[in-house]
Chains A and B, each alone.
Chain A
Amino acid sequence: MANILIIGEQTDNALNAAVAKCVTCARDIDGAEIHVLLLGSSIDQAAATAASIEGVAKVLTIDAAHNANPLAAVYAPQIAEVAGGYDYVFGPSTTFGKDLVPRVAALLDVNQLSDIMEVVDARTFKRPIYAGNAITTVTVKDGYKVLATVRAASYRASGEQAAAPIEAVSTGAEIPAHSRFVSVQTGASDRPDLQTAAKVVSGGRALGSEEAFKIIYDFADKLGAGVGASRAAVDAGYVPNELQVGQTGKIIAPELYVAIGISGAIQHLTGIKDAGTIVAINKDEDAPIFEVADIGLVGDLFKVIPEIEAALGA
């Protein structure tokens, strides 16, 4: 029977929501036993969350002070040692997984698939290339370990189950001293997380300034939505980089996505094409965003948004 190791991601003892989506992908490999490996320091809560994901047979933890921060150069040799006994090694296509999984793959001397969006059969997978403008089907020949990142936006989270066992493991991997964590700067907010929110409101270049972007935050708060932005809005300095939605930002799949003042460059559309309903509000009736929008409204956002808020009675 095939076995699958999923490289879990956690921050401050909270499991990343992408892990349960990787499990859904792994469950498409018929009959495989799925284990989740978590590295960190004090990760009992994250491990307990992983153990309760439907389909997980076991959670492995390497809980150590040197794993306190997610440095790929530190994590990869430990993971490579554990991964030796597995047929498949999956990680999420978050920046954590994109940084780490190729380093593990190289240590195992195998090639890697990036961004699995569909499991066709146990050896065959679909993945997007050219910013999602083409989809390829790749078959991994027998005898090779399958190393891959999973495009989380293509999958729903696996459900819950009675907790699977959690087992601490240790490795003899040498921990390099050449890479050191310094700091992380994050825009802490009470809003729903952009990557997991059911609703997301995004603003683009048309907002015109950092101050004007407040209308997006306020509208998002009224809808209970997360906030995103186009690359143009990030590059212009209206919002921090972690809000960027698109090919080089976050790939998301909310039930409702509201694009406000976003023209809809292909790189942006790549980040939202799995959304349930896309709403576009733009002054320019020829904006490409209207080609993918389920509901489109041509108008000045500064006039239309207050009207929508009033109509919602919010």
Chain B
Amino acid sequence: MDKIIVGLKRVVDYNVRIRVKGDGSGVETDGVKMSINPFDEIALEEALRIRERGDASEVIVVSIGASDAQQQLRTGLAMGADRAILLESDTVVDPLAAAKAMLAIIEQEQPGLVILGKQAIDNDNNQTGQMLAALWNRPQATFASEVILDGDTAKVTREVDAGLETIEVDLPAVITVDLRLNEPRYVKLPDIMKAKKKPLDTKAFSELGVATDDAFSVGLYEPPAQRSKGIMVEDAAGLVAALKEKGLV
């Protein structure tokens, strides 16, 4: 195939301890480390491996977000993507609008495959890939733990509640990836230098002509209810006694 499109979202780094702001207006992001959504990094790694095997000629990374998402696109270029597109928006873009925007890029680029993370670790929606596949009227293979390309089809093993499900889809298709698909490569310093010269196009999200709605209004954010601290027991006998007291054994 010619092209693979990969989505990269800028999110709070997965190692950061998330804190809800005191006034409930959101979570603390000031001075917090931002990174590529970990699932998206796995998506990009898979695309790069496909290209390196000679099954694709170009990997394009696309992000939707504020201008500082350029940092994550540059990291994607340093990992090995060929070029990047930023759909710049200063407001939060909901999954349906994100899917519509990705579709607009697909119509321009005509990729053979779109690979996305199964969800972003900020809003945990797990929607964009499925929505994109629906709007594109193409197959979806979500939660992938193995992808085998064979000509115009892909055999994808999916992590489902029952175990591992394998489906076969015609290309082009949307694949969303799970954690065990691969281990993303580390970026090396010379690659960071090289990435500075790779093309990064910025388009205003508003110019895509994507209809957005205001169906959802988000009210206050709150920290989750905390479990109260329990008791420590000294030994097995103490544990069994505590369980018996609660009627659990």
Contact = CB atoms under 8 A, between A and B. Distances in A.
B34 to A, nearest CB: 14
Interface in A172-214: 176, 178-187, 195, 199
Interface string A132-155: 111111111100100000000000
Given A72-B140, A178-B138, A297-B239, A136 B131 contact: no
Interface stretch (B49-57, B66-74, B80-88, B155-163): B155-163
Contacts of A295: 230-233, 239, 242-243
A33 interface: no
A144 B214 CA distance: 10
A277 B127 contact: no
Contact of B130 (A72, A136, A181): A72
Contact of B231 (A109, A294, A312): A294
B220 to A, nearest CB: 6
Interface stretch (B104-112, B164-172, B187-195): B164-172
A99 interface: yes
Contacts of B246: 277
B144 to A, nearest CB: 11
A291 interface: yes
B165 A183 contact: yes
Interface string B233-249: 11111111011001011
B101 interface: no
B99 A106 contact: yes
A294 B243 CA distance: 10
Nearest to A224: B249
Given A112-B127, A129-B124, 4 more contacts: A102-B130, A131-B18, A138-B216, A241-B180
A128 B27 CA distance: 12
Nearest to B160: A95
Interface of A: 11, 71-73, 76, 94-96, 98-107, 109-115, 124, 128-141, 144, 176, 178-187, 195, 199, 223, 231, 234-235, 240-242, 248, 250, 255-256, 266, 273, 277-279, 281, 290-299, 304, 307-308, 310-312
By DSSP majority rule, is chain B's interface helix, strand, loop, or mixed?
mixed
Contact of B121 (A130, A141, A144, A256): A130
Q: Closest 4 CB pairs between A and B? A: A307-B236, A294-B230, A102-B130, A106-B134
28 contacts: A72-B140, A94-B161, A102-B128, A103-B140, A106-B134, A106-B135, A110-B96, A128-B124, A130-B12, A130-B121, A131-B124, A133-B20, A137-B222, A138-B217, A139-B219, A144-B215, A182-B167, A184-B160, A187-B163, A241-B159, A242-B162, A279-B243, A291-B229, A294-B230, A295-B242, A297-B239, A299-B236, A307-B237
B159 A279 contact: no
A258 to B, nearest CB: 9
A177 to B, nearest CB: 8
A22 B186 CA distance: 42
Interface in B84-123: 94-96, 99, 121-123
A106 B163 contact: no
Contacts, number: 250
A231 B230 CA distance: 24
B145 A114 contact: no
Given A95-B160, A102-B126, A136 B219 contact: yes
By DSSP majority rule, is chain A's interface helix, strand, loop, or mixed?
mixed
A176 B140 CA distance: 12
Contacts of B163: 184-187, 240-242
Contacts of A72: 130, 140, 142
Interface in B3-31: 12, 17-18, 20, 27
Given A73-B140, A103-B140, A141-B215, A109 B124 contact: no
A191 B160 CA distance: 19
Contacts of B166: 182-185
B155 A182 contact: yes
Contacts of B46: none
A102 B127 contact: yes
Nearest to A124: B219
Contacts of B127: 102, 105, 112, 114
B48 to A, nearest CB: 21
Contacts of A240: 163-164
A186 B159 CA distance: 11
Given A242-B163, A250-B161, A277-B248, A114 B236 contact: no
Q: Quick one: which of A106, A124, A129, A184 has the most chain B CB within 10 A?
A: A106
Given A114-B124, A134-B222, A248-B178, A255 B248 contact: yes
B197 interface: no
B27 A130 contact: yes
A146 to B, nearest CB: 9
B230 A99 contact: no
A54 to B, nearest CB: 24
A98 B131 CA distance: 11
Contacts of B137: 176
Contacts of B125: 112, 114
